[in-house]
């Protein structure tokens, strides 16, 4: 069996024969463990005793190992069952920079059991972390199209502006064709009682200016005068400012009557309507008038009035 000195010399020879190049941590530890294991096997004796070899290999945490640059120390201890354990320790390496101290490195222990016939391979390195989950594909939310709405528009309303209309006047209302607006007398020799025109739309005519509550004042020779027309209008509108004062007259008396009404306040003048007699026998409107009496007949007269008369 080789002596301890021979084993140390073999180890140093192995270390010196290793090329001076940078080794990884695993390579340096394997080289030392192999030498120690071989020596321990030779020292185990022929009795088949199990030999345990513990190799302590210093490796700087951040520096490569130059195996031939450091001497190794060897010690052997006997186990309780006749097994021998060989420990090899080496001085820590300096870092590759060569300027500073070195931190102690972890110890690597190699154990060989002669009774084993095979050794399992070293556990593979941890596999690379699984790639991060790919980004979730964007989810597109397709909004439902708005429900079609059918709006039915109301039919166009054709607005017909008010048109001129005809009305009748008579001292005998019963002679007027039914269905027409009528005008008749509230006083005078031809006064008509309300019962004679019941249910009909009536314009009441005042012949002498004594009834401001009537709708119309008759201004012509033998009836009310132009000055009386002004007084009648003032009394009527003073009693009811929202009322309308209708003045009936001939074209010959119209200018004088207009002069008398012109003396009233403007707002009263704006409530006056002019009904002018011009019996041509044909429907027409005297310029400036609101109604024109264009037909004189034996039983009734016919006039045309503008809307709003």
Q: Cα separation of 93 and 90, whole Å?
A: 9
CB 251 within 8 A of CB 218: no
- So what's the pLDDT on residue 158? 73
- So what's the pLDDT on residue 54? 41
Q: Which helix (H) or strand (E) holds 78?
A: strand 72-78
pLDDT tier, 39 (very low <50, low <70, confident <90, very high otherwise)? very low
- So what's the pLDDT on residue 306? 96
Average the pLDDT over 285-299 and give the result.
97
1.10.3470.10, 3.20.20.80, 3.60.21.10, 3.40.50.300: CATH of 165-305: 3.20.20.80
Q: Cα separation of 309 and 290, whole Å?
A: 6
Q: Cα separation of 285 and 171, whole Å?
A: 23
> Among 68-77, 101-110, 170-179, whose mean pLDDT is lowest?
68-77
Q: What are phi and psi of 76, to 5 degrees?
A: -130, 135
Q: Cα separation of 201 and 30, whole Å?
A: 132
- So what's the pLDDT on residue 74? 38
User: Is the per-residue pLDDT at 73 higher than 80?
Assistant: no
What is the biggest distance separating any 2 CA atoms in the chain, rounded to whole angstroms?
A: 176
Average the pLDDT over 179-200 and give the result.
94
Say what the pTM is: 0.51
Residue 219 has which token pair?
């201004």
Average the pLDDT over 287-293 and give the result.
98
Q: How many CA atoms lie within 13 A of 207 on its CB side?
A: 14
Q: Which helix (H) or strand (E) holds 44?
A: none
Q: Are strands 165-169 and 182-185 parallel, antiparallel or unpaired?
A: parallel
First-last CA distance in the chain: 151
Query: For residue 89, what are the contacts with CB-CB under 8 A and spacing of at least 6?
Result: 56, 58, 72, 73
pLDDT tier, 145 (very low <50, low <70, confident <90, very high otherwise)? low
Q: Could you report the per-residue pLDDT of 276-289, keeping only the tens digit for each? A: 999 999 999 999 99
Average the pLDDT over 163-179 and give the result.
94
User: Is the per-residue pLDDT at 305 higher than 80?
Assistant: yes
Exposed e or buried b per residue across 9-42, where buried means at least 16 C-beta atoms within 10 angstroms of its C-beta: ebbeebbeebeeeebebeebbbbbbebbbbbbee
User: Is the per-residue pLDDT at 79 higher than 60?
Assistant: no
| Domain map (residue ranges) of the chain | 4-90, 165-305
- Point out which residues pair with 184 in neighbouring strands: 204
> Among 95-99, 118-122, 172-176, 296-300, whose mean pLDDT is lowest?
95-99
- Closest by alpha carbon to 94, among 137, 118, 62, 116? 62
Q: Cα separation of 300 and 259, whole Å?
A: 30
Residue 106 has which token pair?
């972890």
User: Is the per-residue pLDDT at 140 higher than 80?
Assistant: no
User: Is the per-residue pLDDT at 61 higher than 90?
Assistant: no
User: Is the per-residue pLDDT at 193 higher than 70?
Assistant: yes
Average the pLDDT over 163-189 and give the result.
94
> Among 12-26, 34-48, 186-200, 238-252, whose mean pLDDT is lowest?
34-48
Average the pLDDT over 230-248 and give the result.
98
Average the pLDDT over 244-259 and give the result.
97
Q: Which of 2-16, 121-135, 225-239 has the highest mean pLDDT?
A: 225-239
Q: Is the dihedral of CA 59, 63, 65, 69 positive or negative?
A: negative
Residue with tokens 């070899």: 53
User: Is the per-residue pLDDT at 196 higher than 70?
Assistant: yes
- Closest by alpha carbon to 192, among 180, 181, 203? 203
Q: Could you give the residue ranges of the DSSP H alpha helices within the chain?
A: 4-17, 25-43, 226-239, 254-261, 266-269
Task: Specify burial of residue 59 (Cβ count, 10 A radius: 0-12, 13-18, 19+).
Answer: buried
**Mean pLDDT value across the chain:** 71
Residue with tokens 């001076």: 20
Residue with tokens 């190799």: 55
Report the percent of the chain where pLDDT is more than 70.
Answer: 50
pLDDT tier, 37 (very low <50, low <70, confident <90, very high otherwise)? very low
């Amino acid at each position: 069996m080789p002596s301890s000195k021979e084993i140390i010399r073999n180890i140093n020879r192995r270390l010196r024969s290793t090329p001076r190049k940078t080794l990884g941590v695993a390579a340096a530890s394997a080289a030392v463990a192999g030498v120690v294991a071989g020596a321990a096997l030779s020292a185990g004796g022929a009795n088949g005793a199990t030999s345990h070899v513990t190799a302590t290999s210093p490796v700087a945490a951040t520096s490569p190992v130059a195996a031939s640059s450091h001497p190794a120390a060897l010690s052997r201890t006997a186990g309780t069952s006749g097994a021998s354990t060989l420990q090899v320790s080496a001085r820590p390496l300096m870092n590759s920079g060569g300027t500073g101290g070195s931190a102690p490195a972890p110890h690597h222990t190699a154990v060989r059991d002669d009774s084993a016939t095979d050794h399992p391979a070293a556990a593979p390195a941890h596999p690379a972390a699984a790639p991060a989950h790919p980004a979730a594909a964007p989810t597109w939310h397709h909004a439902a199209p708005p429900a079609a709405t059918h709006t039915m528009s109301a039919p166009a309303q054709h607005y017909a502006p008010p048109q001129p209309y005809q009305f009748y006047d008579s001292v005998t209302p019963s002679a007027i064709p039914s269905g027409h607006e009528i005008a008749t007398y509230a006083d005078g020799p031809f006064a008509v009682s309300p019962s004679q025109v019941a249910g009909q739309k009536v314009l009441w005519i005042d012949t002498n200016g004594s009834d401001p509550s009537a709708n119309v004042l008759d201004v012509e020779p033998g009836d009310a005068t132009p000055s009386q027309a002004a007084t009648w209008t003032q009394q009527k509108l003073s009693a009811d400012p929202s009322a309308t004062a209708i003045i009936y007259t001939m074209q010959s008396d119209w200018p004088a009557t207009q002069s008398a009404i012109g003396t009233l306040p403007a707002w009263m003048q704006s409530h006056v309507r002019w009904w002018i007699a011009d019996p041509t026998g044909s429907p027409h409107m005297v310029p400036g008038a609101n109604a024109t009496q264009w037909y004189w007949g034996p039983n009734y007269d016919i006039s045309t009035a503008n809307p709003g008369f």
